[in-house]
Amino acid sequence: MTLNQNKTPMNRTSVKAARLESSIGNTAKVSGWVRTRRDSKAGFSFIEINDGSCQGNIQIIAPGELANYEDDIKRLTAGCSITAVGEIKESGGKGQATEILASEIVIHGWADPETYPLQKKRHSMEKLREWAHLRPRTNTFGAVARVRNSITNSIHQFFQEDGFLYVNTPVITASDCEGAGEMFQVTTMDMEHIAKQQIEKLNYKFDFFDKPSFLTVSGQLEAETYACSLGKVYTFGPTFRAENSNTSRHLAEFWMVEPEVAFNELTDNMDLAEAFLKRMFADALKNCGDDMQFFNDRIDPDKALISNLESIIGSEFVRLPYTEAVEILENCGQKFEYPVDWGTDLQSEHERFLTEQHFKKPVILFDYPRSIKPFYMYCNDDEKTVRAMDVLVPGVGEIIGGSQREHRLDVLEGRMKEQELDIEEYWWYTDLRKYGTVPHAGFGLGLERAVQFATSMSNIRDVIPFPRTPGNADF
């Protein structure tokens, strides 16, 4: 076993590059992990390796003449790591344009087939979650990682090309904006010590921030301060919910992107959200073709993922006021588990009926009843609705939620009183309305929901590297 790969001082070629027809004739050094080895009776071996650069493997032909052929190469099993040097040749095999005829193979590490967890046999998704450190070595999780990367990259590109500034809003915050019940508390006090004592009232002077502090549930309010200074901004970072929800759609820690634009009203916000979603999905199809084909053929039960995404990219989203949505639902003849009643939130079944059965394409619902929406949404003149919007997509339901913000100080303060919020606590938020207030609007997209939608992965725990859920914070 040789560990010094640098005895061949040549730049590495990725498997992705080595698979290109245009590479034929080049001498290449390729490094990766063995997927399979097959020995020919003619005294040589086929070794497939993958390096994460793409879904496909490259086939290495290891001739029997190699010095380490009998002792090492013929012992290679799934998971071993090697570097192969050789000429890239046209391949006779199907599903691959090229292969490498190795003149040298260095073995970096073995993977004892008796104990290596990722053997040929299929493992359940649950089992693979226990091996979150190894699951990216599988086809499925490699593909998820690449599509997730494509989507995050599209997010940055989309906003950067349009002149937005990326703003990092804080993760730890002492301002509790949407109810502490669902928030994680952050502390440097010694909890075991506190438990042992009997203390009538905690003294937060002994805590790091001198007051109770929490993990953020949204960067929106902070993003508004930057939008109301610098125009077009977006936050994109981890957000947290301490909800005890053990479902396939909830994580305690997830990534959220939240654009916020000064001078935008609700229609501009819809335009932005629609263009944004289309861009993410179009890029994934363009940049991760093999991975998307894999999800289409192997993961999506309907094998319709690609055609669904293409249809969304090509469609014009329906824009439907909540009130009209209620009318459609009341008159559709469909029986729902939950009643449809103006003034209450639509249930998932209602949203799915609208987007999957009635319109059969994405729907932007807007102008929701004010009583079910947060204080910061712009109040319409009808005094019954606010300029909220939810983007619903077939199969997933709500993927984006946003609103035009209430920028009129008197109306905002009225709404805060209505919802029994402490206006003093929000002094900096109301300052934005006192000094040079402007119409503005924004929305939030949960990254993992978008990746779930783009990959048809059924459990959200499988589209984030190390999922955090009740009872799970390993790794």
Return the residues of window 259-298 that contact a copy of itself according to CB under 8 A.
Answer: 262-263, 265
Any bridge partners for residue 403, and if so which? 388, 442
| Adjacent-strand bridge partners of 402 | 389, 443
Residue 250 found at the interface with a copy of itself (CB under 8 A): no
Question: Is there binding between residue 343 and a copy of itself (CB under 8 A)?
Answer: no
Distance of CA 121 to the CA centre of its chain: 28
- Of residues 353 through 382, those in contact with a copy of itself by CB under 8 A are none
H or E stretch covering 85: strand 81-90
User: Contact with a copy of itself (CB under 8 A): which of 96, 103, 152, 334?
Assistant: 152
Question: Does 226 participate in binding a copy of itself (rule CB under 8 A)?
Answer: yes
Q: Which has the closest alpha carbon to 99: 18, 14, 8, 13? A: 18
Residue 347 gets which letter from DSSP? P
Q: Is 202 one of the binding residues for a copy of itself (CB under 8 A)?
A: yes
Report which of 232, 224, 296, 240 is spatially closest to residue 261, judged by C-alpha positions.
Answer: 232
Residue among 228 and 325 whose Cβ is closer to a copy of itself: 228
Q: Is 195 in the site for a copy of itself (CB under 8 A)?
A: yes
* Cβ atoms of residues 329 and 340 within 8 Å: yes
The one-letter amino acid code at 133 reads H
Coil, strand, or helix at residue 416?
A: helix
Between 273 and 354, CB nearer to a copy of itself: 273
Residues facing 470 on adjacent strands: none
Least distance from a copy of itself to the Cβ atom of residue 288, Å: 11
Closest approach, Cβ 29 to a copy of itself, in A, equals: 9
Alpha helices, DSSP H only, in 315-420?
322-331, 348-352, 409-418
Q: Which of residues 229-248 bind a copy of itself (CB under 8 A)?
A: 229-232, 237-238, 240, 242, 244
CB 222 within 8 A of CB 229: no
Minimum CB distance to a copy of itself, residue 246 (Å): 12
Which of 20, 125, 145, 313 is in the footprint of a copy of itself by CB under 8 A?
A: 145
Stretch that binds a copy of itself, among 38-46, 62-70, 120-128, 178-186 (CB under 8 A): 178-186
At closest approach, how far in Å is the CB of 352 from a copy of itself?
28
* C-alpha pair distances (Å), 371 with each of 158, 320, 340, 400, 415: 34, 19, 16, 20, 10
Measure the CA–CA gap between 360 and 395, rounded to whole angstroms: 10
CB nearer to a copy of itself: give 336 or 466: 466
Interacting positions 37-66 with a copy of itself (CB under 8 A): 51-53
Among 71, 114, 200, 420, binds a copy of itself (CB under 8 A): 200
Which part of the chain contacts a copy of itself (CB under 8 A), choosing from 19-27, 142-150, 303-311, 368-376? 142-150
User: What part of residues 75-104 is at the interface with a copy of itself (CB under 8 A)?
Assistant: 79-81, 83
**How near is the Cβ of 315 to a copy of itself at its closest, in Å?**
24
427 CB-near residues (< 8 Å, 6+ apart): none
Residues binding a copy of itself: number (CB under 8 A) = 116
Residues 114-133, one symbol each (x = binds a copy of itself by CB under 8 A, - = not), give: -xx---------------xx
| 199 in contact with a copy of itself (CB under 8 A) | yes
Nearest to 78 by CA among 44, 110, 102, 42: 110
CA distances from 456 to 107, 122, 290, 293 (A): 37, 19, 15, 11
- Identity of the residue, 64 or 238, whose beta carbon is nearer to a copy of itself in the bound complex: 238
Nearer to a copy of itself, 361 or 433 (CB): 433
**Residues near 394 by beta carbon (within 8 Å), at least 6 away in sequence:** 308, 352, 355, 356, 360, 361, 362
Choose which of 211, 316, 420, 424 interacts with a copy of itself (CB under 8 A). Answer: 211
Alpha helices in 263-304 (DSSP H): 266-287, 289-294
